[in-house]
């Protein structure tokens, strides 16, 4: 099991796409947090005690899809370049391979999200200081903010990984990752109305209260986490069964 975990970690850290994703994430954070939120801060934001908390949640909401993309690529690269057979023959059990991927991606997602959480207020403060602006005393509910943001980042990455396991085709999985949470759930929301909050990605976004219109229905962050967790568990059971039974190619 240890060798499988090390192999997955090497795969994640040895491909250029992982570092390219980090670079894009950092560039977006500098632009939106340092420049837009900090340097060009509106007077209302300067007098808002929740400006930094909103900036952290917004940043996690915006860039977590890139962590999910890295997780997806970790899995689908093996099918695209036909290296999955080497992975499976190197381990004596397919369960170990999939468990290693889940563990490595979980650690990656938590570290990725943690870095975003730490950098977000720092970039805002640097932008404010560079423009000689000052925020009012900020209220940062670290206990709730931390678990909500970490769960959101981890959940999005797990969604990307499970989509890769279900679809296997890299292009198809990427399209589903980007289209599913926005287009498909938005269309379903027209039919479900208040029950839209029980759709998987809508529930995930409601964990941090970002990126979704929740005026038609309400759900607590804890309840939303349970809803998304139930969807994730169900899809992972299917993906796990298919991984054990289907041919590698």
Q: What pLDDT sits at residue 36? A: 92
Structural Rg of the chain based on CA atoms: 19
Q: For residues 175 and 190, what is the distance between their CA atoms, to the nearest angstrom?
A: 22
Taking 70 as the threshold, does the pLDDT of residue 213 lie above it? no
Q: Cα–Cα distance between 109 and 58 in angstroms, integer?
A: 17
Q: Among candidates 111, 135, 155, 127, which has minimal Cα distance to 22?
A: 111
With a CB cutoff of 8 Å and minimum separation 6, the contacts of 225 are 151, 155, 203, 207
In 29-45, which positions are buried (b, 16+ CB within 10 angstroms) versus exposed (e)? bbebbbeebbbebeeeb
Nearest residue to 188 (alpha-carbon basis) of 174, 203, 173: 203
Higher pLDDT, 210 or 180: 180
Average pLDDT of the segment spanning 208-219: 61
Can you give the pLDDT at residue 229?
95
CA distance 202 to 185: 8
Residue 37 to residues 48, 70, 124, 167: CA-CA distances in angstroms? 12, 27, 6, 38
As a whole number of angstroms, the distance between CA 35 and CA 46 comes to: 14
Mean pLDDT, range 5-30, rounded to an integer: 90
How much is the pLDDT for 215?
45
Q: Using CA atoms, how far apart are residues 163 and 177, in angstroms rounded to an integer?
A: 7
Q: How confident is the model at residue 210 (pLDDT cuts 50, 70, 90)?
A: low
| Tens-digit pLDDT profile for residues 26-83 | 999 999 999 999 999 889 999 999 999 999 999 999 999 999 999 999 988 888 888 8
Residue carrying the six token digits 């990725």: 112
Report the b/e string of 95-127 with b at 16+ CB within 10 A: ebbbbbbbebbeebbbebbebbbebbbebbbbb
Handedness of CA 183, 188, 189, 194 (dihedral sign): negative
Question: Does residue 248 surpass a pLDDT of 60?
Answer: no
Burial class (CB in 10 A: 0-12, 13-18, 19+), 152: buried
Distance CA 82, CA 114 (A): 33
Whether pLDDT at 25 is above 50: yes
The Cα-based distances of 157 to 34, 161, 166, 236 in angstroms read: 25, 6, 14, 13
The whole-number pLDDT of residue 218 equals 74
pLDDT digit string, tens, across residues 137-194:
999 898 899 999 999 999 999 999 999 989 888 899 999 999 877 788 878 877 887 8
pLDDT of residue 157: 96
pLDDT the model gives residue 249: 52
More confident residue, 17 or 81: 17
pLDDT tens digits for range 90-145 = 777 788 888 899 999 999 999 999 999 999 999 999 999 999 999 999 998 988 99
pLDDT band per the 50, 70, 90 thresholds, residue 214: very low
């Amino acid at each position: 099991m240890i060798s499988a975990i090390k192999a997955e970690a090497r795969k994640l850290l040895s491909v250029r796409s992982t570092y390219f994703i980090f670079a894009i994430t950092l560039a977006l954070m500098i632009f939106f947090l340092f420049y837009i939120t900090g340097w060009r801060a509106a007077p209302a934001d300067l007098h808002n005690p929740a400006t930094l908390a909103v900036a952290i949640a917004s940043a996690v909401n915006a860039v977590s899809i890139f962590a999910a993309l890295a997780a997806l690529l970790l899995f689908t690269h093996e099918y695209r370049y036909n290296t999955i057979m080497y992975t499976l023959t190197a381990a004596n059990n397919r369960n170990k391979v999939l468990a290693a991927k889940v563990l490595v991606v979980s650690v990656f997602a938590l570290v990725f999200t943690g870095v975003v959480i730490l950098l977000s207020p720092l970039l805002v403060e640097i932008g404010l200081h560079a423009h000689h602006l000052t925020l009012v005393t900020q209220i940062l509910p670290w206990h709730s903010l931390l678990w909500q943001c970490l769960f959101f980042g981890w959940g999005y990455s797990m969604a990307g990984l499970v989509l890769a396991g279900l679809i296997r085709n890299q292009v198809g999985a990427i399209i589903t990752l980007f289209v599913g949470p926005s287009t498909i759930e938005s269309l379903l929301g027209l039919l479900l109305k208040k029950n839209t909050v029980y759709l998987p990605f809508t529930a995930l976004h409601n964990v941090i209260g970002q990126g979704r219109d929740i005026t038609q229905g309400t759900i607590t962050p804890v309840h939303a986490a349970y809803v998304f967790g139930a969807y994730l568990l169900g899809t992972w059971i299917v993906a796990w069964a298919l991984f054990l039974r289907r041919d590698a190619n």
